[in-house]
Every structure is written in structure tokens, then in C-alpha cells.
């Protein structure tokens, strides 16, 4: 019998603090700077030092970023950060949430959201399309916002709107939703490394419009929130959306790191809670506060590992399934089809065809 490497799965005592690259901060401020609006008081009240923005590798606590988000919105009465010709008056986010919370499915909610956004953001065209196993969230300019496609205001407009839609979608169904890929319509920004934390590691740049893909089956998920839950959610919003459903949330990160070290050995949430010196109830509550759950973390980790091994190795699918703790390959096949909409054999075959096409180009 193989020995368990318990040293690899001990939690660290140092608490991880989620941070945001200054690139997102300067992007959020870019509309104000272009209009010569004083930002010093807003930065100070948000706990952000002005000189920290000059460092390309600088980082800001996510709580300070969310506070700055709300400070800008309230002081400008503009939830669009002075990025657009017309202001998005305070309350737009609330009305967006109220217009979708009584939807039956996520797909219905996203269609309603795109209709609402067309009314308040005529400069951007937002849509949702279902294409067999994949769904796409599409964001494009109805008319050119800025001459320079790499204008920081234009970059942040796309970053912000996708983050808002994705974060709201995750909250509506009560779980993190993995984006399979996102192609952004501008050059790779200096803070692109953070895109893996906020959107997906499969982020690319240089497209004509923004295209975010996800498993089409996710559109059929039922909405799990109601008006009462929305009232709680709106406390601290819209800046709160910046803090939810990231990959570096403290408790989510600890649980993910622990599971990553030994997926097969750690099946029990009780065991994970014990190793974190928490009760299972406290662990569930902490994860829920961060917008996740033990099962969601484990499923997302299994999915990431499975995709990586199928892409980078020639391991038999039965071995991948066993390494990920699936008792039978058929169980793994069903799970993988739920994650991606296709079987793992089909996924690997498509990858091989894609690489052959590149070699022949």
C-alpha cells in the first residue's frame, strides 16, 4: 500500500490576503483622470496610497479595491466610472439584479441582463449565444468608444462588464462558474497575469470583440437566490462583486491547496475541516461567505487537473480518473461531460486535431 504523504497536506499558519494588481486600480481611475477629477480623497478614504499606483508590480488589498469601487460610484453618481458618454446613475446595478433574480434558469437571467444593459449602455452590445456544447457571452462596441484600442478606459470597460456579468451569474446560481476561455479585444495588458485569478487561465488578447465561453449546460442551472437574499447581497454592492468568486479567496485557497496535494486521500469534508482546526459547520460557513463550497472547490480542481493532463500528457484516461479519485472510468466520463459538454476521448481527439492543424499551417 502506498504511504500517504501527510507533510504535503498540512495547512500553513500564515493567512493569505487577496490582492488586486494596480493595473485594475488605475483602469478604474482612468475615466476620472481623463476628466481631471480629483482622486486623492477617494484613494485615501479607501486606504490606498497614491504613490503605490506608480509601481507596475504594485498590489492593493481586494477590500480596498472594493471600497474604492463604491467610493467612486457614490461620489460621481456613476456606476460606469466616467468611462461612457452618459453616466450609469446610482441604482443601475440594483435594478439589474432585481430584473433577473426571479428568472428560472441562468440562461434566462443572462438574456434579461443583456436586455437591461442595452438600455443603460447603448455604446456596448452585450449578448449570450448557445452553440451546442458551448455558450458564449459576447461584448462589443456599438460605436467606437476610444480611438486607441488599448486606451486604459476601454480596457477597464471590458474588464469591468465581464466581471460584473460573471460575478452576478455565479451569485445567482450559488456557485463558482468556470469560464473555459476569454478572448479580449485589446493587446495583452501589463496586469494580465491576474486574469487567471479573476476570469480564466485561458485568457487571450487581440480579438475584435470580447468572447467568453463556458459550458452550455451551465445555462440550464436553476436560480437559487430570491428577493430576500438579494437584499443581503446588495449591502456593500456593487463593489462587493469584485471580492466574490476569485481563485485567491482565503478559505477557498486553503481548501484547494490541501485538496491539490492529495485528491485521492482527502475525500471527507470533515477531515479537511479537522486539518484546518475548524468544525465542519464553520468551514461550510466560511466557504459560503466566500461564495463557494467544498464540493465546488473539489469539482473545479478535478476539472482543472483533468484538462491539464489531457492537454499535456498521454496518460490513459483510466489512470487520470483513478488519480482524481473516481472509482470507475464511467463516473469520470459523466463528470467530464458535465464540465465540458464532451467526453474526455472527444476532448483529447479535438486537441490532437488542433495541434495537427497548427503543424500544417
Is the CB of residue 110 less than 8 Å from the CB of residue 97?
no
Q: What is the pLDDT of residues 220-260, one digit of tens each?
A: 999 989 999 899 889 888 988 887 777 656 677 788 888 88
User: Rounded distance, CA 215 to CA 199, Å?
Assistant: 14
Kindly compute the dihedral angle of the four CA atoms of residues 165, 167, 173, 176, in this order, to the nearest 10 degrees. 130
Q: What integer pLDDT is reported at residue 12 of this predicted model?
A: 36
| Between residues 82 and 299, the one the model is more confident about | 82
3-class state of residue 205 by DSSP: strand
Question: Does the pLDDT value for residue 302 go beyond 50?
Answer: yes
Give dist(CA 322, CA 157) in Å, integer.
43
CATH of domain 249-357: 1.10.10.60
324-339, pLDDT tens digit by residue? 888 888 999 998 888 7
Q: Is the confidence at residue 6, as pLDDT, over 60?
A: no
Q: Tens of pLDDT along 145-181?
A: 899 999 999 999 999 999 999 999 999 998 778 899 9
Mean per-residue pLDDT, 188-211:
91
- Does the model's pTM come out above 0.95? no
Q: What is the pLDDT of residue 255?
A: 85
Q: Tell me the per-residue pLDDT of 50-97, one tens digit each, with 9 for 90 and over.
A: 988 888 778 898 889 999 999 999 999 999 999 999 999 999 999 999
The 8-class DSSP code of residue 327 comes to: S
Find the helix packing angle between 294-312 and 250-261, rounded to 10°.
Answer: 50
pLDDT tens profile 101-125: 999 999 999 999 999 999 999 999 9
Q: Would you state the pLDDT for residue 248?
A: 59
pLDDT at 314 over 60: yes
The segment(s) of the chain belonging to CATH 1.10.10.60 are 249-357
Amino acid at each position: 500500500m502506498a504511504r500517504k504523504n501527510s507533510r504535503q497536506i498540512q495547512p500553513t499558519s500564515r493567512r493569505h490576503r487577496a490582492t488586486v494588481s494596480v493595473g485594475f486600480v488605475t483602469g478604474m481611475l482612468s475615466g476620472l483622470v481623463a476628466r481631471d477629477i480629483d482622486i486623492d480623497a477617494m484613494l485615501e478614504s479607501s486606504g490606498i496610497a497614491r504613490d503605490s499606483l506608480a509601481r507596475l508590480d504594485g498590489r492593493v488589498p481586494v477590500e480596498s479595491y472594493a471600497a474604492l469601487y463604491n467610493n467612486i460610484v457614490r461620489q460621481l453618481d456613476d456606476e460606469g466610472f466616467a468611462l461612457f458618454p452618459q453616466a450609469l446613475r446610482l441604482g443601475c446595478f440594483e435594478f439589474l439584479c432585481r430584473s433577473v433574480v426571479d428568472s428560472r434558469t441562468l440562461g434566462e437571467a443572462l438574456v434579461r441582463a443583456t436586455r437591461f444593459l442595452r438600455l443603460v449602455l447603448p455604446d456596448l452590445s452585450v449578448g449570450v449565444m448557445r452553440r451546442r456544447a458551448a455558450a458564449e457571452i459576447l461584448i462589443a462596441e456599438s460605436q467606437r468608444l476610444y480611438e486607441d484600442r488599448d486606451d486604459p478606459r476601454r480596457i477597464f470597460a471590458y474588464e469591468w462588464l465581464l466581471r460584473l456579468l460573471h460575478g452576478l451569474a455565479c451569485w445567482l446560481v450559488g456557485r463558482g462558474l468556470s469560464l473555459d476561455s476569454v478572448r479580449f479585444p485589446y493587446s495583452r495588458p501589463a496586469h494580465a497575469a491576474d486574469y487567471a485569478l479573476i476570469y480564466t487561465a485561458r485568457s487571450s488578447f487581440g480579438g475584435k470583440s470580447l468572447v467568453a465561453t463556458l459550458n452550455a449546460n451551465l445555462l440550464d442551472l436553476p436560480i437559487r437566490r430570491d428577493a430576500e437574499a438579494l437584499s443581503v447581497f446588495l449591502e456593500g454592492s456593487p463593489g462587493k462583486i469584485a471580492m466574490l468568486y476569485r481563485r485567491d479567496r482565503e478559505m477557498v485557497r486553503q481548501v484547494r491547496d490541501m485538496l491539490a496535494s492529495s485528491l485521492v486521500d482527502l475525500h471527507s469534508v470533515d477531515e479537511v475541516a479537522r486539518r484546518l482546526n475548524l468544525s465542519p459547520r464553520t468551514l461550510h460557513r466560511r466557504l459560503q461567505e466566500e461564495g463557494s463550497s467544498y464540493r465546488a472547490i473539489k469539482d473545479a480542481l478535478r476539472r482543472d487537473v483533468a484538462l491539464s493532463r489531457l492537454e499535456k500528457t498521454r496518460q490513459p484516461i483510466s489512470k487520470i480518473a483513478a488519480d482524481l479519485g473516481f472509482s470507475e472510468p464511467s463516473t469520470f466520463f459523466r463528470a467530464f461531460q458535465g464540465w465540458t459538454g464532451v467526453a474526455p476521448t472527444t476532448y483529447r481527439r479535438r486537441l490532437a486535431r488542433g495541434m495537427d492543424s497548427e503543424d500544417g499551417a
